[in-house]
Structure 1
Amino acid sequence: MLRAGWTRGAIELRQSFTNGADLWGHCFWPLLMVAVTFFLRDVSFGGTGFALGTLVLPGILGMNASMAMVTMSQQLTAEREDGTLLRAKATPNGMAGYLVGKIVSVSGGLVADLAIFLVPALLIVPGLTVGSAGSWLTLAWALALGLVATLPIGAVLGSVFTSARAQGLITLPILGMIAVSGIFYPVTALPDWLQWIAQVFPIYWLGLAMRSALLPDGAVSIEIGESWRHLETVGVLGAWAVLGVLVAPVVLRRMARRESGSSVADRRERALRRIG
């Protein structure tokens, strides 16, 4: 199961870098974020002495990592609609192998996207602490824990929505969470009640962990409680991870049981009617 899933994921990941549309998707958003950090690199944040671009860069990493759940959800819904999930269901351990493969491909694509953003951004954004092994270690565990916390949520969302068009319902809530999570502006500049809302969701904690890895110690003064709060970060992301790991397999199994050739045909017919 694991070997088949790994092979499937590796093939999907390789195909995403040989397909023009997918390759454009891998490059467009990371390079757009590079442009954002470039224009913010000399803009100071209040009287802290830190450039806004320096503060924003780690938050963008956290945002992109959390958006992996949207990618997972969109791909699962699309492949449910076109019958890919039905074919996986028909093979021994097919659903488990499918899920492993999807985790491999989405995670691999995310790491590539982050590298496309981070490498040029490190060259143009001043004030980052990337010269120590501790910074990269923090970056690694935060990214790994963040993926475990968000990918199962994406699988659940992909199981709930029955059509790719319905995925648009996810976009606005996700954008709302990003807006209050301190990605593009320190969360301490927001009202207290918005700060509490931000701390419920994993996006804020991913951004905080990334900032603790890449920013100098003095930057902690603009955070809540003037602390990087690593223990709280592990606790909140871990809670989301446990919730997702417990709920996602149950939801996926129930969704797979409802899949049939007739349901796929009905969805395809509705899609054709919309196009027509």
Structure 2
Amino acid sequence: MTSAAHTLRIGIARGWIEFRQTLRTPSDLASYLLNSVIMLVILSFLDRNEPAAGAISLGMIGLPGALATMIVFGGVTSMAQYLSIEREDGTLLRCRALPGGVAGYLTGKVVSVSLMTLLSMLVILLPGLFLIDGMLGNGISTLPTALWVTLLGLLATLPYGAIAGALFTNPRVATGIMLVPIMGLIVISGVFAPIDGFPGWIQTAAQVFPLYWLGLGMRSAFLPDTALAVEIGESWRTLETVGVLGAWAVVGLILAPIVLRRMARRESGAAMEARKHKVMQRVV
């Protein structure tokens, strides 16, 4: 077995163990899935507003948007937070002492965060299909589209979460800074409401980032073609979705290893102790 294959195997095993530990820790599991439960409750209330005949309900529009948002929260915010925490507590430094330790650690983190993100999406999707009228209309044919959008979305977001986690040594700062642009993108990207009412420059800006295309891809999976009336160009633009998400994934996969290698080289026991000293000073 080659060194790279061994590192990959160890990383996958590490990620699976971390995922199982999260499932067995009620507090960790509850904190991770809280946003999914809140979104599901909101969607169920939105669906109580009866749409006009043939119209798309707010609940039907909101469910694909909630799934897209979970991908971004998991891929960017959760990844950045975990990396910052384990950089601060010395986990990453200890992994660096092992052959292929950093690569295996990052592989494991990608696996565990991806699995938790998928679980958070299922908490919304499975009940939502039955609670929200019309969501089962497309049947099992929706699953392949939803799956490739999810996987490509994770590839397009996880590298940037890793980069953010490498750049910010304080996990609270990392989470706070990442939430601000994500919330802004949620507003302008049309994941919960049509984007066609925004000025043209806002529409253009929204289409630069993955969240718009994740929302569009999820809507193409779960909504009927009658929903195209409010989409830009009245098309699901599948090729453009693949192109933009793929471009973000490629750039992120190139940049993330460079940033992470530089961060790992700067890690030392002295640097970790200095960060702990600053934390203690803030507590005192």
TM-score of the aligned structures, taking structure 1 as reference length: 0.96
Separation in 2, partners of 1:20, 1:269: 31
**Corresponding position: 1:153 with 2:160:** yes
Further displaced range: 99-108 or 164-173: 164-173
Further displaced range: 60-69 or 203-212: 60-69
Separation in 2, partners of 1:44, 1:233: 31
Percent of residue pairs identical: 47
**Corresponding position: 1:26 with 2:32:** yes
Separation in 2, partners of 1:180, 1:255: 33
User: 1:174 Cα shift?
Assistant: 1.3
Give runs of aligned pairs for residues 136-175 of structure 1, distance below 5 A.
Answer: 136-167=143-174, 168-175=176-183
Amino acid at match of 1:148: L
Give runs of aligned pairs for residues 89-108 of structure 1, distance below 5 A.
Answer: 89-108=96-115
Would the aligned equivalents of 2:81 and 2:172 in 1 still touch at CA under 8 Å?
no
Match of 1:110 in 2: 117
- CA deviations 1:163-194 (Å, max 9, x no partner) are 11321122211111111111221112322221
**Corresponding position: 1:177 with 2:185:** yes
Separation in 2, partners of 1:85, 1:247: 19
Amino acid at match of 1:66: V
Would the aligned equivalents of 1:198 and 1:204 in 2 still touch at CA under 8 Å?
yes
Where structure 1 has 5 or more consecutive residues not aligned to the other structure, the ranges are none
Q: CA RMSD in A?
A: 1.5
Match of 2:210 in 1: 202
Separation in 2, partners of 1:130, 1:262: 59
Separation in 1, partners of 2:19, 2:179: 24
The SS at the match of 1:67 is: helix
Where structure 2 has 5 or more consecutive residues not aligned to the other structure, the ranges are 1-6
Q: Structure 1 residues 181, 169: closer, same or farther in 2, change over 3 A?
A: same
Separation in 1, partners of 2:22, 2:171: 19
- Aligned pair partner of 1:272 in 270, 277, 280: 280
- Aligned pair partner of 2:17 in 3, 11, 20: 11
How many matched pairs? Answer: 276
- Aligned pair partner of 1:78 in 68, 80, 85: 85
Further displaced range: 167-176 or 222-231: 167-176
Would the aligned equivalents of 1:81 and 1:162 in 2 still touch at CA under 8 Å?
yes
Amino acid at match of 1:102: K
Separation in 2, partners of 1:12, 1:90: 20
Separation in 2, partners of 1:44, 1:50: 9
Would the aligned equivalents of 1:129 and 1:216 in 2 still touch at CA under 8 Å?
no
Separation in 2, partners of 1:47, 1:173: 37
Separation in 2, partners of 1:41, 1:95: 46
Amino acid at match of 1:213: A
User: 1:50 Cα shift?
Assistant: 1.2
Would the aligned equivalents of 2:130 and 2:136 in 1 still touch at CA under 8 Å?
no
User: 1:43 Cα shift?
Assistant: 3.0
User: 1:48 Cα shift?
Assistant: 6.9
Further displaced range: 252-261 or 162-171: 162-171
- CA deviations 1:35-54 (Å, max 9, x no partner) are 11111113367997111111
Match of 1:258 in 2: 266
Separation in 1, partners of 2:127, 2:163: 34
The SS at the match of 1:29 is: helix
Q: Structure 1 residues 47, 158: closer, same or farther in 2, change over 3 A?
A: farther
User: 1:88 Cα shift?
Assistant: 0.9
User: 1:73 Cα shift?
Assistant: 0.6
Q: Structure 1 residues 46, 79: closer, same or farther in 2, change over 3 A?
A: farther
User: 1:129 Cα shift?
Assistant: 4.7
The SS at the match of 1:36 is: helix
Separation in 2, partners of 1:103, 1:193: 34
Moved over 6 A (4+): 45-48
- CA deviations 1:8-51 (Å, max 9, x no partner) are 10111011111122111233211111111111113367997111
- CA deviations 1:60-116 (Å, max 9, x no partner) are 101111112111011001111111110111110001101100000000001111111
- CA deviations 1:143-164 (Å, max 9, x no partner) are 0000000000111111111211
Match of 2:4 in 1: none
